[in-house]
Structure formats: structure tokens, C-alpha cells
Chain A
Amino acid sequence: MTTKIPELMNLTERAGSETPHAETPHTPVAAAREALLGKFDMDELLNCMHCGFCLPTCPTYQQTGLETYSPRGRIALMKGVAEEKLAIDAEFEKNMYACLGCRACETACPSGIAYGQLIETAREVVEDNKKRQGKRSFTRKMIFKNVFPHPKRIRAFGTALWVAQALGLQKAANRTGLMRILPREIAEMQHAVARIASPVQRKQRSPMLPSEKEPILKIGFFKGCIMDEMFYETNQATARLLSKAGCDVVFVEDQACCGALHAHSGEKSGAANLAKRNIEAFERAGVDFVVNNAGGCGAALKDYGHWFTHDPEWRGRADSFVAKVRDANELLVELPPLTFHKPLNVRVTYQDSCHLAHGQGVRNQPRQLIRSIPGVDLVEMSHPDSCCGSAGIYNIMNFDMSMDILDDKMEDVQRTKAHMIVTANPGCLLQMREGIMRAGLQGQMEAVHIMDLLDRAL
């Protein structure tokens, strides 16, 4: 048993000139830095005992074999920054954004480290530091300030995509300049997008789909911004399933983006503003449950309490909201079983949504639902709960790593000999479609959202 007293170590001098040590305390700059570093949850960082149990579950560690690409390594770097042994620089930013945020490490972590929250904070520190230095990327600002918070703009984006698709021309998107507002990689992912619902179809949606039988519950449907634009039909299918199972399904007015993409990208205040709008909207609707069908959104909705840790006024409202949030899979297995009339006769495999499995602990429910469909044979992959590489906008921001992860995933998929990959989150669905194309399996294999699969068998 040896004891190492931290000050004996030569860490700081080795970090060299990049260490922000030179400034004296009591200056406004030092105070700002203190406030910035104070965002780190030091207790939680210390709770990591660097046992390494997270390493085998981390897709980026599996790809690289490098400690800097592992959860243990990232926590060590966060601790290094929090203790001012390392700088908040471009390298730290790269390290923090190389993480998928899939949270598979949380499932593996015996010490129960809230890694998802740690990585969000680290990115917040990176972004706040850039704001302080006046270094913000135009693209980021464009996406986070001018697109996601505005449902109308997302709708316009969706409509433009629909126009492009209806014309049968991906080129149209480029010609209109639409794709130019987003990085190159989004264009590469764009061919995985399914046919988008027309504006007319969307306008016809009534504000409520009543239960097909004596209503058991009144649920508020959380549409999700991307989900409702790119997968409008999947939302409709989900509503139909819930209505058949005995729910009055309310498409709650004035709901906004869940804020997940903001939170995962260090835009905590933007995320909190969206959360407030959703909490208010669903409070007004007076529903029993807030139901969604996107694992990523659901995990964010369930995280609202944590977003308001330091805001007593909103904390209580957030907690009551969170208590009502359910993934559609969770709720459907609790309701009277659905009656399926059309056997599907297909071999399928299920790709867990990371934020549904690792973030919300919902693993068995979707499998139970899939198995309940007549003629469906569910064959598991060897690592169904390992991330597909989609991870929100990761596949746009870290395209190459994402595709390496996806190619490994497709090998795992092909070993199951399934003809269908079932997912429970829009990002995963797009990514798996991309994977099918990359593996040259178009026409032989299909990726579907679990709600669409269930709907097909009704």
C-alpha cells in the first residue's frame, strides 16, 4: 500500500505552455475560468476508479485501441482539465467530441458513474470557453441557434427535402443551396432518408387520435423534431398502435425539440429553454403520460430533472414531467396486448437504441413486442446494444469513425442472416439504412422502426 500525494507529481509542468496557469487569481479572467472549471462535478470524476471495465463496451475504444478514445481516458482528461493540469484546447475538444455518447459504459460501470452527464458538462465547458474567446463555428451557430429551436424552420427543412425527393433529384437539394448550410457529411447521409411525408399529408393530421376502445389513458404524443419531419408515417403508426391499445392520443400543441442534440453538444442553456417549452406544453395538455418513439429523445426527456439541478423553480416541474415520460415500447407492453392479423414471416434482428437501452434501461420490452408478432423470428446479434455509430449528429461530425463502427455492425447483422433490422430511434434507423447500402444489401435487407413493424402486422 503506497500513498501518492498529488503535489509530488510532475503533471503540471509537463502539460507545458498550454496549461492556463500563468494568470494570477482575482482577475476577471481567472474568475471566469474558475466558474468554467467549477462546472465539472469533481466528486463524480473522483468516483471513477479507473478499473477499465468500460473499455470493452466503448465502440471508439474498440475501433482505435487508444486510451484517449475510451470513457476511462476521457474522464481522466476531464479530471486533468478540472485540476488545471491540462488545457481546454483543440485537442481536448477533439477528445470530448470523439465520444459517441452512447452510454454503453454506464451499463458496464460498476461504480455507477453518470458518464452521459460528465461528457455533456465537458462539452459545455468546451463551448463556453469558445464563446468566451469569441471562437464559435458558424455551422454550429446555424444548427443550434437557427434550426433546431424553431419547429417551423425544421418543417421548412423537411418540406424542402420532400420537394427534392418528390422530384427524384438529390441534386435539387444542392441546387437550392439547402445542403450548403450543413456540412458535407450530411449530404452523404441524406440518401438514407426515406420518403418524407408531403405537406398536405401533414396538415391533415387531427390534433387527437381517439382510442379505438374504451380509453384507458390519455397520452400526450411527443413527436420529436427530426422524427416528425423525416418519419412522419412512423409517428402516425405509433399513434395508431397506442389508439388500438386503448389510449386517447393527443398531439400536444406547441411542443419543441427535446433538446438532446443541444445537451450532447455542450449547448446546455439552449437545451434548458427547449425543455421549459415542452414542460409547459405538456402541463397544459393535462395528460397521463408523455409518450415518444425515439430512444434518443426519450432519454433526454427523462434527463430534464438533471438539467435543472441548479434551478429550484423548474426542478420540481421537470421532475413531475419526467415521471410521466414513457417510450412507446414501455407503455405498449403494459397495455392490453395488441391483436395482430397479418403474420409477417420474416427473420429480424433488433439493434438497441443506445439511449433506450443504456440511457433508459428499456431492453426487454421491444424484444417482447417483436416476438409477439406472428411469423417473426428474432435472431440476436452478438452485440445488439453496441452503438451503430449514428449517435445524434456524430455521423455528420465524425463521419469516418462512424462509418468504421457501422461496417463492423453490419458484419454482426449479417451473421444473424436476418432480412430486417429493427430499430427504435430515427438516428439508428437512418444509420442502419446507410449500413445496408454500404454493405450492398439493398433489396435483400430492410431497416424499419419497431412501430412500423408492429403497425404492418395489425
Chain B
Amino acid sequence: MLTEDLRQQFISVVGQKWFLDSPNELHAYSYDATPLLQSIPDAVIVPGSVQEVAAVLRMANEHRIPVIARGSGTNLAGGAIPVQGGIVLNMNRFNQIYEIDEKNLTATLGPGVITADLHTAVEAVGLFYPPDPGSMRISTVGGNVAQGAGGMRGLKYGVTKDYVMGLEYVLPTGEVLRSGGKNVKDVAGYDLTRLLVGSEGTLGVITEITVKLLPFPATKRTLVVYCRNLVDAARIVERIIAARIIPATIEFLDQATMKVVDDFAKLGLPLDMASMLLIEQDGVEAQVVQDIEKIADIARQTGAAEVRMAATMEEGAKLLAARRSALSALSRLRPTTILEDATVPRARLAEMVEEIERVARKYNLQICTFGHAGDGNLHPTCMTDERDHEEIERVERAFEEIFHAAIRFGGTITGEHGVGMAKSRYLHLKVGEGAIELMERLKAAFDPNNILNPGKVFAKRDRRRIVVRQS
């Protein structure tokens, strides 16, 4: 609880309207998009300027109050949960695009800009911001940067971290710092921009972002490949890449996911198939057509049961839109949907999918798998019911096995969702104890009082369950 004196101080900074702490307001900022996690903050503050952010942080730091910066709250790893209470700092009033620099091909914007709005704005002048996380219609660019968000175009274009050129950020002391900028080449000192990307709000609060833009591709084509077994699908992906073709997107859906998506989007998918690949190539017309035809040939020669080219760009877009809704469409099956993002090198994709199926059988769970096959980023998704504690226990054990398997195959515990609370106790599997200690020292250099998003990334690794504060 904040003292009345502190309340008034915060209100004097941002104004009554942007300081929220009624029971219902606090309740509405106690969750993000992660299942099963909820914790009530002490206040919600919606700052309107960098000066306000600095003042709030300074006061919070002085009084050792946790500050959890967030955008739209679409995180899937518990990153925006105020697990130790404190202040939820909602950055969505920073929603202006300050500049689209067509000469330097950059955009400079506030962290509260919705990702899809950035797409619309830059595309209107023939430019392209490729990162497209599944929640892009509501996620903020600030959230994407803080979490190192990915998306469907990672294979060819990379992810959010590959587009962030410069940042303005505020430290707990209230110091406002800048890193990077519009320079393609810039090796002046440590790359603090890269350090802040994916830091999950634990190092500083981002208040301005400069991103790199590309020319908008002239055209795109979508191809659908249906396979009678998983191994064929994985082998098709491997052979496309081996043939030196880098498609913009290769998405993968297993049979269970296909069924649910088809029910939702009414696409008339052949539901007797074991899996499908959605492949999209973009670029100049001639190259795109040539690539797509070559991909179709490879698929046919590699055991595809059916290869179909989307007749129009609209049909292609509709197929991809269906893929975008896969996660949420799955949630229709059972009340609780738990989605992970274990990632493996592309060549181990088939093995990983089979391992997930084995684990699902072992623990008697329903796990559907879809994801970004082109970059090995899978989304094993478990449909369960949070009221069934025994089943939830099995889900937890199953995912633990899945994470270990991903590491065994040379992969990682999280490809694009972040560590947050959900995967903090597996972090050591990927990075090792030494790296965790170094990260903790870095964290202390930025935030010695540990007020910025405490309880995230670094877990007490001896505990299986994170215990939420009992104040």
C-alpha cells in the first residue's frame, strides 16, 4: 500500500486522472495475457511525458516501490504482472509517431504506438517495418522492444531486435539517457541499445524508439502445402532453405491446430492431413513467382500430399490471418490455454515436434503445435483447465520436459515471448549459472535497488513454484 502522502505526491506529478487505484482499476491491471498469473498492484500510473516518467521513477526508487512498465498487456510469460505489487506504469499515452524519415529510412516513435499502426503509417509511404508479432493489432512497439518480440517474418527479415537503432530511456534515478540513433554504423562504446532490447523492463523505462525501415516489397505470394506426416513437412522446410531460397514466412500447423483454425475461420482445410505449411514469399514479381514455383516443386518431390497456391493476395492474406488466430482459436477447446515458445535449430524441427507428441502422450495431455517452422520457433500449446490442479501439475511437468528437449536439440527455452515469470526457473538451462550471475550484476548497475520489474527473469531457481506476495 502507498501512504496517503506518497499517493498525493504521485498525483501531483501526473494529475488525478492518470493515477488509478480503486479496487476495480487495480484488478484490471493485475494480469497480462499469461494464463494462471495474477497479482494486484498498489497503483496504476499513466504518465504523459518523459519528465513525468523520470519523476515517478525517482520517487519510486527513493521509497523502494516496484515499477512495472507495460503497454497493452499481451505478454505471454508473465512479464507485465506486478508480482511484488508496486506501480504499474502504463506507457500507452506515448502513442505518437514523431517522424518517418524517408531519407534515412527510420521511424522515431513513442513506446505506446500500436505495432499495426506503425505498419499502416510506414506502408502509406511505401516503407516496411517487418516485425509482426501475433498480437500486433494491439501490442505496443515499446512492449515488443522490451520483450524482444518475434513474429512470422523472422526467417527472412529477423525480429524486433534487428530493427531497433536507437532508444531514449529512463533509469530509476530519473536520469534520461539516449543510446544509438539513426546511424547504421555506430560502435561508440557498449551497445546499450541491444542490451535494453529484450531486457523485459528490468533495466530502464523506454520512452522513445528509433527503428530501421525497409522498402515495402512489391508483391507477395502464398503457397499452402499439406502433408500426410510431420517428417515430410519438416523435410520440405529443410530442402527449401538448402535450395538457397529464403521465404518471408514458413508457418507450420499440426492436424489438431488445423481442425480448430478451420472451425474458426471456415477455410475448408483438408482435415485428414497431418500438417500444413503456409509459405509466403515477397519481393519483386519475377523473383517471387520463380521462388514460389521452385518451392512448389520441392514440396511435391518431398512427399507433399497437396500443393496449392493461394489464387489471390487476398486469399493468401486470409490463410495467414487464420494462422494468426491459431493461439486464440485453440482456447475454444478448453478453458485454459497455455502456450510456450520452445525453439530449436530448423534442422531439428521434426524431432522436436515428435518429442512434443511423445510428452503429450506420456502425461495424457492435449498439446497442439504450430509455429514458425522457418526459424524453428514452435508453439506447443496445451489446452487444460485451471480448476483441475492435478492436470495443471502434469502440464507443468510436461513443459519442463519440453524445455529440456529443446535445449538437448541445441535450441532455447524461449524464442520470442521472453523469460518473465513463466520461464525464469529454466533460464540456467540455456545461459548457464555464470551468465545469470553476470546478468544480475548488470541489472544491479542499472537498478541497484531492484525496483524495475522485480521477480522477473531471475528466479529463485530452487523453487518449483513462484510464490506470489502475501502482503
Contact = CB atoms under 8 A, between A and B. Distances in A.
Interface stretch (A73-81, A201-209, A255-263, A345-353): A73-81
Given A3-B396, A68-B24, A47 B466 contact: no
B375 interface: no
A18 interface: yes
B114 to A, nearest CB: 7
Contact of B40 (A2, A11, A52, A55): A11
B23 A53 contact: no
A66 B387 CA distance: 29
Interface in B1-36: 20, 22-33, 35-36
A3 B393 contact: yes
A49 B35 contact: yes
B28 A11 contact: no
B81 to A, nearest CB: 9
Interface string B285-325: 00000000000000000000000000000000000000001
Contacts of A77: 24, 27-28
A91 B22 contact: yes
B386 A110 contact: no
B325 A110 contact: yes
A281 B23 CA distance: 47
A110 B331 contact: yes
Interface centre among B23, B40, B137, B336 (most CB of A within 10 A): B23
Given A2-B36, A110-B331, A86 B392 contact: no
Interface stretch (B72-80, B148-156, B183-191, B269-277): B72-80
A9 B469 CA distance: 7
Interface residues of B, number: 69
Given A55-B72, A67-B73, A80-B27, A4 B468 contact: yes
A87 B22 CA distance: 12
A14 B40 contact: yes
B460 to A, nearest CB: 12
A18 B340 contact: no
B264 interface: yes
Interface in A1-42: 1-6, 8-11, 14-16, 18
Contact of B465 (A5, A9, A52, A87): A5
Contacts of A264: none
Nearest to B466: A2
A86 B24 contact: yes
A305 to B, nearest CB: 20
B78 A2 contact: yes
Interface centre among B37, B73, B393, B471 (most CB of A within 10 A): B73
Contacts of A91: 22-24
A76 B465 contact: no
A118 to B, nearest CB: 14
B210 interface: no
A411 B458 CA distance: 48
A338 B32 CA distance: 52
B135 A8 contact: no
Given A52-B138, A76-B27, A111 B33 contact: no
B23 A18 contact: yes
Interface string B210-249: 0000000000000000000000000000000000000000
Interface of B: 20, 22-33, 35-40, 46, 72-74, 78, 90, 92-93, 95, 114, 116, 135, 137-139, 264, 325, 327-329, 331-332, 335-338, 340, 385-387, 389, 392-393, 395-396, 399-400, 403, 421-425, 465-471
Given A10-B469, A51-B328, 4 more contacts: A2-B396, A47-B335, A95-B24, A111-B332
26 contacts: A1-B395, A1-B400, A1-B422, A2-B78, A3-B392, A9-B39, A10-B471, A11-B27, A14-B23, A14-B40, A15-B27, A18-B23, A46-B336, A46-B387, A47-B332, A47-B335, A49-B331, A49-B336, A51-B327, A52-B139, A53-B138, A65-B46, A76-B28, A76-B31, A95-B24, A112-B264
